[in-house]
Amino acid sequence: MAISRRQLLTAAGSTALAAGFSFPAPAQGSPIKLGSILDNSGLLDIYGKPMVMATAMAVEEMNDTGGLLGRKIDLKQYDSQSDIALYTKYAQQLVREDKVDVVHAGITSASREAIRQTFRRANTLYFYNVLYEGGVCDRNCVITGTTPAQAVEPIIDYAMKKWGNKIYTIAADYNYGQITAKWVAHYVEQRKGTVAKTDFFPLDIADFGSTIAKIQDAAPNFVVSALVGGSHMAFYRQWAASGMNKKIPLTSTTFGVGNEHLALSAAEGDGILIAGNYSQEIPDAANKEFLARWQKKFGDTKIVHEIAISQYHGIKLWAECVKQAGSIEREAVLKVIESGAKVDGPAGQVVIEPKTHHASLDIRLMLVKDQKLSIIDTAKQRPPSDTAQYCDLSKNPDENKQFEVKI
């Protein structure tokens, strides 16, 4: 066994304590460091800004109630400006210079994959709090967002029963869209439907004229959109401008997450079907109190969206685990996580599945109406069963890959 300098010092310290020396314990007073990297500006800031606010709010709430384990929490928040290169840079900074105790970071799946291995190598516990394409199997990484089995399957199920079995998929052209489109095809084929066509679009494409004509040519029963970011919002606008929103139903796995329903007028957005963990319309007291606190701190609650809530859940969940573990050490916290840690948040209960480090969540089927996400159905505690098909961290704790569905 190799003895590190830290272990040696600890050992020396405890010997000193045992020997009856009294000296001020520095660890007790020094703050716990929580690192966060999010896109607070640029193309993806429609997602990032409310997440940054939720992060600040969660940390402030903990500090106002005495911190964690009697220590204050020091938030290191970096703005990655919608630039992947800045993610890797700040990830290095968090582990090397700031030496943080935990990281809650990343929005797009591309950003997550850019930084995940850095935290794994540095043994820094990493939370990714965003809905995504599923399949990440990494013991160092805890995920509190929804996966396709949670958000895509209910949409496909509901929409195919309601509208028919011919589907057209449009998706963002990076790992999130590519893999989500595969899951869409998987669930559609499971139900004996067909995917007429799948089109992918880079994040800066804003002209969808030819696509809208092609969709009409294929004449699907409904369209599934996994589009991402500010430019792609042009699709919904052009779709409505051509009057298609009255002709072919539109469903989405991402709509609303960037507050698209607020950027579009009611006439443009009405009728889009989505599924996810959060809507501001959730009638529970936990949600109402959360929104009231947000209102007090930031004023406008309209911008609160699902992944801001996920980020809030993630931080609260981590804090809960630290409290139970009585330590901020990675192994101790992971042990609590792997005992099925849970936390109650604005969107209901979040329970970590020990095998996958993903969360079981309440999933709501929602319809866009008057710039609001009105809930039509809620499924309590839906498990991330897609990832669970492949990933078992209790059996293979050293697994470090992202599984994809084979179609």
Partner 1 sequence: MDYLAVVLLEILYMIAFLALISAGLAVVFGMMRVINLAHGEFVMLGGYATIASWKAGINIYVAMLLIAPIVVGAVGLVVERLIVRFLYGRMIDTMLATWGLSLLLIGLVTLIFGNTAVSVPAPIPGYQIGRYQMGGYNIFIIGVTIVLMLSMWLVLRYTRVGLIARGSMLGPDIVAALGHNPRTIYMLTFTVGAALSGLAGGVLAPLTGLLPSAGGAYIAKAFITVITGGAAVVAGTLTTAGLFGTVNQLVSFASTPVVGEIAMLALAILLLRLMPQGVTGRFFRNST
Give the span between the Cα atoms of 376 and 362, in whole angstroms: 13
Question: What is the nearest approach in angstroms of partner 1 to the Cβ of residue 244?
Answer: 5
Which of 237, 335, 355, 369 touches partner 1 by CB under 8 A? Answer: 237
Check residue 263 for interaction with partner 1 (CB under 8 A).
yes
Q: Please report, as residue ranges, which positions from 12 to 51 form the binding site for partner 1 (by CB under 8 A).
A: 41-43, 45-46, 49
Residue 153 binds to partner 1 (criterion: CB under 8 A): no
Q: State yes or no: residue 231 binds partner 1 (CB under 8 A).
A: yes
Is residue 212 at the binding interface for partner 1, with CB under 8 A as the rule? Answer: yes
203 vs 373, which CB is nearer to partner 1?
203
Among the listed residues 247, 296, 297, 401, the single contact to partner 1 using CB under 8 A: 247
Residue 56 in contact with partner 1, rule: CB under 8 A: no
Q: How far is the CB of 223 from partner 1 (least distance, A)?
A: 13
CB of 247 to partner 1, least distance (A): 6
Site for partner 1 in 158-187 (CB under 8 A): 173
Residue 84 touches partner 1, criterion: CB under 8 A: no
The reply to whether 230 sits near partner 1 by the rule CB under 8 A is yes
Closer Cβ to partner 1, 207 or 284, answer by number: 207
Determine, following the binding rule CB under 8 A, whether residue 205 of this chain makes contact with partner 1.
Answer: yes
Is residue 200 near partner 1 by the rule CB under 8 A?
Answer: yes
Question: Measured from the CB of residue 81, what is the shortest distance to partner 1 in angstroms?
Answer: 9
SS3 annotation, the chain: CCCCHHHHHHHHHHHHHHCCCCCCCHHHHCCEEEEEEECCCCCCHHHHHHHHHHHHHHHHHHHHCCCECCECEEEEEEECCCCHHHHHHHHHHHHHHHCCCEEECCCCHHHHHHHHHHHHHCCCEEEECCCCCCCEEECCEEECCCCHHHHHHHHHHHHHHHHCCEEEEEEECCHHHHHHHHHHHHHHHHCCCEEEEEEEECCCCCCCHHHHHHHHHHCCCEEEEECCCCCCHHHHHHHHHCCHHHCCCEEECCCCCCCHHHHCCHHHHCCCEEEECCCCCCCCHHHHHHHHHHHHHHCCCCCCCHHHHHHHHHHHHHHHHHHHHCCCCHHHHHHHHCCCCEEEECCEEEEEECCCCEEEEEEEEEEEECCEEEEEEEEEEECCHHHHCCCCCCCCCCCEEECCCCC
Considering only 176-184, 257-265, 283-291, 355-363, which stretch makes contact with partner 1 by CB under 8 A? 257-265
Q: Does 370 bind partner 1 (CB under 8 A)?
A: no
From candidates 8, 17, 27, 213, binder to partner 1 by CB under 8 A: 213
Among 176, 187, 208, 290, which residue interacts with partner 1 (rule: CB under 8 A)?
A: 208
- The verdict on 400 binding partner 1 (CB under 8 A) reads no
Please, which residue, 98 or 199, has the CB nearer to partner 1?
199
In the beta sheet, which residues pair with residue 369? 372
Residues that bind partner 1 (CB under 8 A): 41-43, 45-46, 49, 173, 199-202, 204-214, 216-217, 219, 230-231, 233-234, 237-238, 240-244, 247, 263-265, 267-268
